[in-house]
Every structure is written in C-alpha cells, then in structure tokens.
Amino acid sequence: MLRLGWFSTGRDEAARQLLQVVYQAINGGDIEARIAFVFCSRSRGETPQSDLFLHLVKSYGIPSVHLSFKDVVGSTPVDYRDTPRRAAYDRQVIELLKGFKVDLCIMAGYMLIISPALCHHYDFINLHPAMPNGPKGTWQEVIWQLIQHRASSSGVMMHLVTPELDRGPAVAYCTYSLRTPSLNPLWTQIQNQQIEELKRSEGETNALFRLIRQEGLKREFPLILATIKAFSRGQVRVENGIILNKEGKPIPGYDLTPEIESSIENDLAMAKENDSLLMPMPEV
C-alpha cells in the first residue's frame, strides 16, 4: 500500500477540500494508499484557517506534525534563494518526521519553497497549472503568457519537485483546448490588444483570463486524485529522479487527459441530474 506524506500550510478552504477528497477516495477504496502523516507549516493558534485544517486532520485520525515557519525563521519574508534560512527550517522538519516512513510526499497548498536538503530527503510531487514544457511561474503568470503567445492549448501537471524551481520533470498531466466555442469570441475581442495594455486596462478581470483560469481549476483536483491513484496502482513511479511507467520504462509524464475529461463530464452529468431533481413538478 502506498504511504503518503502530506505537506500543507492549511491557509484556506481549498487546502481542507483537497485533503477531504483524497481522504474520502482512500477511505472508499478508490485509492490504495494511506496518509502516514500531515505536516503543517503553521502551529495551532497561528491563524483561524490553519486551525480549521489541523482540526480536520485530527478528525480523520491522521498523525499531524506542525512547525511554525514564522516562529523558526521570523516574520521577515524569505527569498526563495535564501537557502541557509530555508535549510535551517527544513532540518527541523526532517528531524520531526524521522519516525515516519513514506513512499511519496504531496505538496498540497504548501506555501513554502523547500530547500535542497528536504527535496532530496523525500520524493515530492507538486501541482503546476501548465502542461509539460509550458509556461513557468505562478498561475497568473502562466495565464498571461498563454494570452501573450495566443496559445491554442494548455494543461495541468503534477511534477517532481527538484532544487530548481518549477523545473522538475512531469509525473502526470492533462491537456485541454483553448480554442473552444466559449473561448473563441474572447480571443477575437483581444486580437488587436497588446498584453501590457490588457493588463493595465482590465487585469485579472478580463473575461478570457478568467475563463482560462476556470478551465484549469476544474482539472486540478481530478488530476491530483488521478495521479495518486496511478501511483497506488503502480502505473507510474519515481526512481532516482526518473519517471517510470508500470513496465519500468522512462516516460515524459503519464498522460491522464482521457481520465480527467471523463471525470469532468461525469461531474457535469451529476450536477444536471441533481438540478433536475430540485425542479418543481409541473402543474396538472
């Protein structure tokens, strides 16, 4: 059975929802795994949101370990290149977790960039809102690059975490079209606009920006679930930093597009069915 380590800052409702859907999939037998521990980079009492997250972990009976990054490093923002300060914190994390044995660690809303020491200690996978070889950076930066280059497709991937930020190889991914009936008119609206002008005039309120974001978001949770499931069934694994398929052959990531699209279609069908059940009966 796959043993998972779960790393989260627990900063918002999404962090709780992600843990919830994975826990339910494991508990329901859909994923053959167990969460060996949850590590949180905030301590109890630090924020209301992280307290709710830690309460959820406790309610599931999962061992939790927490260490406040702010208490160890201070409130001054830490540059991602500040390896000594990050490493000092991560050494304490490694020490706290030394009693647990895991096969794979999931970064699930973990708002810290880990040091090389922690990165080499475990195999971590993390979500990035682009397809393999796609744009780097935050989700906002990814979308602006897609718009700037008039991209015809995008994707979401789970990638192996390496010391080079956002440079780890794709473990699993899905792709989707950016040229659909709902998106095409929005591309037409901005065809004569420069990207900097668009950023100044509308920014993230731009309709195309928002719809691209929605398309990516609705695939993120299904991809995370499908990736963990693929690991639990031996369809993909990591050995010495190399992504392998079930035959042990190196692959450039496991394409889960058909499974993700099927999951989205099923969710839409269920939503429509639930809506129809709520409709009032016609008068006779």
Q: What tens digit of pLDDT does each residue of 126-173 get? A: 999 999 999 998 899 999 999 999 999 999 999 999 887 777 899 999
Q: Is residue 77 part of a domain?
A: yes
pLDDT at res. 284: 31
Instruction: Give the pLDDT mean for 102-120.
Output: 92
> Is the domain of 141 the same as that of 107?
no
Closest CA to 62 of 121, 6, 126, 125: 6
User: CATH number for the domain including 18?
Assistant: 3.40.50.170
| Mean pLDDT (the chain, rounded) | 91
pLDDT at res. 80: 53
Measured between alpha carbons, how far is residue 93 from residues 68, 96, 189 in Å? 10, 5, 50
- Reported confidence tier of residue 276, pLDDT bands at 50, 70, 90: low
70-74, 83-87, 169-173, 226-230: segment of lowest average pLDDT: 83-87
Q: Is residue 284 part of a domain?
A: no
Output the six-digit token pair for 58.
């406790």
- Reported confidence tier of residue 281, pLDDT bands at 50, 70, 90: very low
> Is the domain of 66 the same as that of 193?
no
pTM of the model: 0.89
> Is the domain of 76 the same as that of 140?
no
- Reported confidence tier of residue 271, pLDDT bands at 50, 70, 90: confident
Residues 6+ apart with CB under 8 A from 201: 193
> Is the domain of 139 the same as that of 46?
no
> Is the domain of 117 the same as that of 139?
no
> Is the domain of 148 the same as that of 260?
yes
Question: Does 193 score more than 60 pLDDT?
Answer: yes
Q: Is 53 left (phi over 0), alpha (psi -120 to 50) or beta?
A: alpha
Q: Is residue 161 part of a domain?
A: no
Question: Does 275 score more than 80 pLDDT?
Answer: no
- What is the count of structural domains for the chain? 2
pLDDT at res. 274: 73
- Give the range of the structural domain holding residue 151, as residue numbers without chain letter: 133-155+175-271
Rg of the chain taking only CA atoms, in angstroms = 20
> Is the domain of 72 the same as that of 196?
no
